[in-house]
C-alpha cells in the first residue's frame, strides 16, 4: 500500500500553479502516443507541451472545470453541468493552432472524432491526469483519481475518460473503469480507448 504523504494530498489548483502544473504534465506526456502524434519533434516536445498544457489549463479547465494538483501531478475534471462551457473559445483555438502548426488539422479532427463517441448520459469527465515521472510510484495519480471518483460517486454519476497509452489501461481498470470502445484518430493517428466507470455507493 502506498503511504499518503503531505505532498500527494490533492489540493484545488489555482492560476498560480500554472507553471508547475504545465511542466509536470509536459514531462508526464512526453512519451504519450497522442501527444507524440501532435508534437512529433522530440527535442522541442517538452517545451511545446508545457505551453500547450498551460493554455488548456488557464483558458479552459481552470475556468470551467475542477482542477486539482499534488506536488507532482494534476488532474482536470469536467462536471456534467460544465460540458458545454469547457470547450475552447476562439482565442484558445488560435493559441493551440499556433503551437500545433501544420498538425493543427490533426488535432481538430481528433477532437471531433473523440466527441462523436462521448456518452450522452450525465457524467463526470476526466479530461486529463498526469504525474511527473520523477514523482511516479508515490501515489500522486492515485490520490487525484480517488478524489475525483469520490466526487462522482457522491453524485451517483459515472465517469468517462479517453486513454491513448495502452500501459495506462490496467491502472484505470484497477479503479473500476472498463473499455467501452476504441477510436482510431483520423490521419493515421494512434488509438484512443474510451473508458467508463459506473458509480459506486460511498462506503
Asked whether the beta carbons of 102 and 110 are under 8 A apart, the reply is: no
pLDDT-based confidence at 1, cuts 50/70/90? very low
Q: Classify burial at 195, counting beta carbons within 10 Å of its beta carbon; exposed 0-12, middle 13-18, buried 19 or more.
A: buried
Distance separating alpha carbons of residues 70 and 142, to the nearest angstrom: 11
Asked whether the beta carbons of 101 and 39 are under 8 A apart, the reply is: no
Q: Which pLDDT score, from 0 to 100, does residue 2 have?
A: 46
Q: Which pLDDT score, from 0 to 100, does residue 59 have?
A: 92
Tell whether the model's pLDDT for residue 6 goes beyond 80. no
Q: What is the pLDDT of residues 11-52, one digit of tens each?
A: 999 999 999 999 999 999 999 999 999 999 999 999 999 999
Cell of 36: 507524440
pTM above 0.85, yes or no: yes
Q: Which pLDDT score, from 0 to 100, does residue 141 have?
A: 93
Q: What is the pLDDT of residues 53-76, one digit of tens each?
A: 999 999 999 999 999 999 999 999
Q: Which pLDDT score, from 0 to 100, does residue 161 have?
A: 96
- Report the DSSP pairing between strands 159-163 and 73-78: unpaired
Distance separating alpha carbons of residues 139 and 7, to the nearest angstrom: 10
Domains and CATH numbers, the chain: 10-197 (3.40.630.30)
Asked whether the beta carbons of 160 and 196 are under 8 A apart, the reply is: yes
Q: Which pLDDT score, from 0 to 100, does residue 182 have?
A: 92
Q: What is the pLDDT of residues 105-164, one digit of tens each?
A: 999 898 888 888 888 899 999 999 999 998 878 899 999 999 999 999 999 999 999 999
Tell whether the model's pLDDT for residue 4 goes beyond 50. no
Torsional sign, CA 172, 119, 107, 62: negative
Asked whether the beta carbons of 9 and 165 are under 8 A apart, the reply is: no
Q: Which pLDDT score, from 0 to 100, does residue 203 have?
A: 61
Amino acid at each position: 500500500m502506498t503511504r499518503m504523504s503531505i505532498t500527494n494530498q490533492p489540493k484545488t489548483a489555482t492560476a498560480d500553479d500554472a507553471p508547475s502544473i504545465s511542466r509536470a504534465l509536459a514531462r508526464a506526456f512526453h512519451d504519450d502516443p497522442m501527444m507524440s502524434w501532435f508534437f512529433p519533434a522530440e527535442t522541442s516536445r517538452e517545451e511545446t507541451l508545457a505551453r500547450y498544457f498551460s493554455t488548456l489549463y488557464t483558458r479552459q479547465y481552470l475556468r470551467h472545470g475542477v482542477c486539482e494538483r499534488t506536488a507532482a501531478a494534476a488532474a482536470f475534471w469536467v462536471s456534467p453541468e460544465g460540458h458545454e462551457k469547457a470547450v475552447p473559445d476562439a482565442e484558445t483555438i488560435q493559441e493551440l493552432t499556433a503551437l500545433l502548426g501544420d498538425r493543427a488539422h490533426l488535432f481538430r479532427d481528433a477532437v471531433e472524432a473523440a466527441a462523436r463517441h462521448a456518452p450522452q448520459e450525465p457524467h463526470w469527465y476526466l479530461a486529463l491526469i498526469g504525474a511527473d515521472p520523477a514523482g511516479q510510484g508515490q501515489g500522486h495519480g492515485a490520490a487525484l483519481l480517488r478524489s475525483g471518483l469520490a466526487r462522482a460517486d457522491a453524485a451517483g454519476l459515472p465517469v468517462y475518460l479517453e486513454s491513448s497509452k495502452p500501459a495506462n489501461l490496467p491502472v484505470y481498470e484497477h479503479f473500476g473503469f472498463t473499455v467501452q470502445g476504441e477510436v482510431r484518430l483520423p490521419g493515421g493517428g494512434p488509438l484512443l480507448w474510451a473508458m467508463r466507470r459506473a458509480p459506486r455507493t460511498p462506503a
